[in-house]
Amino acid sequence: MNRKAERVPTGYRLGDWEVGEPIADGGWGWVYEGRSVRETDEPTLVALKFLPTSGLAPRQARGLLESAHRESEFGRRTRHPRLIRVLDSLVLDDQDHPELDGAIVLVMERAEHSLRQLIGAESELTEGQADRILTQICEGLAHLHDLGWVHGDLKPDNVLLMADGSVRLSDFGLAAELDGTHGTHAWIPPQGTPDYLPPERWKAPLGERGVQTRPSADIWALGIMVHQMFTGGTSPFPGATPAARGAAAQEYAGGRASLRLDPAVPRFWRDLATDCLAPTHEARAACTAGGLLARIGAAAQGDGTTVGGTGAARARGGQRRRRLVLGTAVATAVCAATAAVWVHVADDGATRDDPVHAENVSETADPSPIKVYNVEPTCRAHAADRDQQCSLGLAIDPLSPYTVDNVVTTRVWHGDVLTAQCRLPQGLPVTDEFGHRSTQWYRVRLPAGASVSTAWFPAVRTKDKPALPACR
């Protein structure tokens, strides 16, 4: 059981559903098993995806509401055996549970596990199983693109396997419908999972509607996943961190490095991944999901064993195998660690008389400069534009939920330099867009003309580590 996720009491009722065991916990929120409390044609067991809003800045709350609306709207308008079903959506009104009050809940089909759990796990995943999973991913993606939608966040976490072994694409919080004169592109928030972003997204201009994306972005992500399926989750691009691998992908796209796929990937899938990972959108545009599906079908008809070739041929290509653990069931949308949210948890017992509260903190005589750091690559690249979607907030009180009543009007952007007076090691935790979490805060001075003279800045939003005394 995931103890971190036990924020919703077992037996809690919402609509026609009762909360069961926790399944997953991450940056977006929490996922629980749900059970129907009345006779219905819908499944008896579901996944309940809780998206809390009580601890968010107004901009982040709006973004989360928009994401939930996109996911719910997409689920309402589409139906396909390779796409997870969104059965219902609710907004909680529960003042007795402040952390739940205002939370958005998506009721979704329940899956057994995610593709992420299969990659690099303990029991062997055969080549035939890998072929079947990748084929069904392409089926779902082809249907999605045929409808005129882009997934926007395709990755192993968002590919789910049901009890019968069939595949579902899930988590459509960044899904967007193509617009433009010819339906060539869509607009999504400047978010996503760095390991699966195509090179052009790292430098995409940020406009009022977000950043532009196309179906070719999903094709790139598919190419990354093909490679990971046969290499224990290894990216085709070198690097110890997502940022380093993203930089390697840009080096490749700029013609300064070659694409080197692991020989463990069978020949057919290696060729397909190479096409998916064409360095530019223009080169990738001809590589459609429907075309890939046709190639897979033709290969399957020409080989009575597997799409990628015989097991012996694969063994000659490499010996690394993926492993499978059939552990605790995963929700239809595993909480992404990349979500742009500030997570607040229950108060640890501090009171308004506690000496670490803002009004009781004395200023240190040796302030230190700290530079604001935004983990979103697009926001860093366009920091000079001072776009509101890329601004970061400052709290009035670091021990209270980060709500509209607990944020100063002054906003900051990547690269801004703040003057820190002291540090608070144990405030409410903040999680950034890539899942990095910290409980430390800095008390910072605000510029002349601000509504207040000081505010609180979360340590997770800077790479600097000044030697400051504890606030007292």
- 149 forms bridges with which residues in the sheet? 177
Residue at token pair 């882009």 = 150
Which residue from 468, 437, 438, 471 is spatially nearest to 455, judged by alpha carbons? 471
Is the distance from CB of 32 to CB of 5 less than 8 angstroms? yes
Residue at token pair 């400047």 = 190
How distant, in Å, are the alpha carbons of 352, 440, 444 from that of 470? 18, 10, 13
* In the chain, domain spans: 3-109, 114-324, 358-461
Look at residue 421 in the predicted model and tell me its pLDDT: 95
Look at residue 267 in the predicted model and tell me its pLDDT: 95
Enumerate residue ranges in the chain where pLDDT < 50. 1-5, 304-305, 310-364
Look at residue 235 in the predicted model and tell me its pLDDT: 96
How distant, in Å, are the alpha carbons of 157, 186, 265, 345, 470 from that of 198? 18, 15, 21, 34, 42
Cβ neighbors of 138 (< 8 A, separation 6 or more) are 222, 289, 292, 293, 296
Look at residue 73 in the predicted model and tell me its pLDDT: 74
Question: What would you measure as the largest C-alpha separation in the chain, in angstroms?
Answer: 76
Q: Which CATH number fits domain 3-109: 3.40.1190.20, 1.10.10.60, 3.40.50.150, 3.30.200.20?
A: 3.30.200.20
- pLDDT tens string 400-451: 866 656 788 888 999 999 999 999 998 888 777 666 778 899 999 998 878 7
Q: Which amino acid is at 176?
A: A
Look at residue 329 in the predicted model and tell me its pLDDT: 34
Look at residue 431 in the predicted model and tell me its pLDDT: 73
Look at residue 309 in the predicted model and tell me its pLDDT: 54
Look at residue 140 in the predicted model and tell me its pLDDT: 95
Look at residue 137 in the predicted model and tell me its pLDDT: 97
Q: Which fold has domain 114-324?
A: Transferase(Phosphotransferase); domain 1 (1.10.510)
Look at residue 212 in the predicted model and tell me its pLDDT: 80
